[in-house]
Amino acid sequence: MEPSKFERAKVGAMMGGAVGLCIGFVIGGYSLMRYGPGQRGYVDTLARTMVSTTATFSFFMAVGSVIRADDEGRAKIPIEWYHEKDRARAFRTPPVVILQQLQQQQQQQ
Amino acid sequence: MTRASDHSRDPCPYVIFSDLGASFAMGAIGGGIWYGIKGAKNSPRGEGLQGAVTSLKARSPVLGGNFAVWGGLFSTFDCAMKGIRQKEDPWNSIASGFLTGGVLAARGGPKVALSSAAFGGIFLAVIEGLSIVVSRAFADQNRPVMPQLPEVAPPAGH
- Is ipTM over 0.85? no
pLDDT (tens digit per residue) in A42-81: 889 999 999 999 999 999 999 888 887 655 555 566 767 7
Residue B107 DSSP code: G
Q: Please, how many CA atoms are within 13 Å of residue B86, restricted to the half-sphere of its CB?
A: 0
CA distance A34 to A27: 10
Whether residue A102 and residue B8 make contact (CB cut-off 8 A), yes or no, is no
Of B22, B130, B151, the CB nearest to A18: B130
User: Chain A closest CA to B148's CA: distance in Å?
Assistant: 8
pLDDT (tens digit per residue) in B9-23: 677 788 888 889 889
- Taking CA atoms, what residue in B is nearest to A22? B126
pLDDT (tens digit per residue) in B116-145: 999 999 999 998 998 888 888 876 665 666
- Provide the residue ranges of all domains of chain A, joining segments of one domain with +: 1-71
- Residues in chain B with pLDDT < 50? 1-6
CB atoms within 10 A of CB B102: 20
User: Chain A closest CA to B10's CA: distance in Å?
Assistant: 7
- Which chain A residues are Cβ-neighbours of B25 within 8 angstroms? 67
CA distance B29 to A62: 11
Whether residue B30 and residue A63 make contact (CB cut-off 8 A), yes or no, is yes
Of B11, B29, B131, the CB nearest to A67: B29
- Provide the residue ranges of all domains of chain B, joining segments of one domain with +: 9-85, 89-140
Whether residue A90 and residue B10 make contact (CB cut-off 8 A), yes or no, is yes
**In the prediction, which pLDDT does B141 show?**
64
Provide the greatest CA pair distance for chain B. Answer: 73
- CB contact B150 to A (< 8 Å): yes
CA distance B137 to B34: 32
Mutate to test the interface with A, among B1, B26, B93 (most CBs of A within 10 A): B26
Whether residue A60 and residue B33 make contact (CB cut-off 8 A), yes or no, is no
Q: Please, how many CA atoms are within 13 Å of residue A37, restricted to the half-sphere of its CB?
A: 9
Of A63, A70, A91, the CB nearest to B29: A63
**In the prediction, which pLDDT does A58 show?**
93
User: Chain B closest CA to A42's CA: distance in Å?
Assistant: 22
Per-residue buried b or exposed e for A49-83, using 16+ beta carbons within 10 Å of the residue's own CB: bbeebbebbbbbbbbbbbbbeeeeeeeeeeeeebe
pLDDT (tens digit per residue) in A2-52: 667 788 888 889 989 999 999 999 989 998 998 888 888 888 999 999 999
Cβ burial of A2 (10 Å; 0-12, 13-18, 19+) is exposed
Whether residue B14 and residue A81 make contact (CB cut-off 8 A), yes or no, is yes
Chains A, B: CB contacts under 8 A, how many? 70
- CB contact B13 to A (< 8 Å): yes
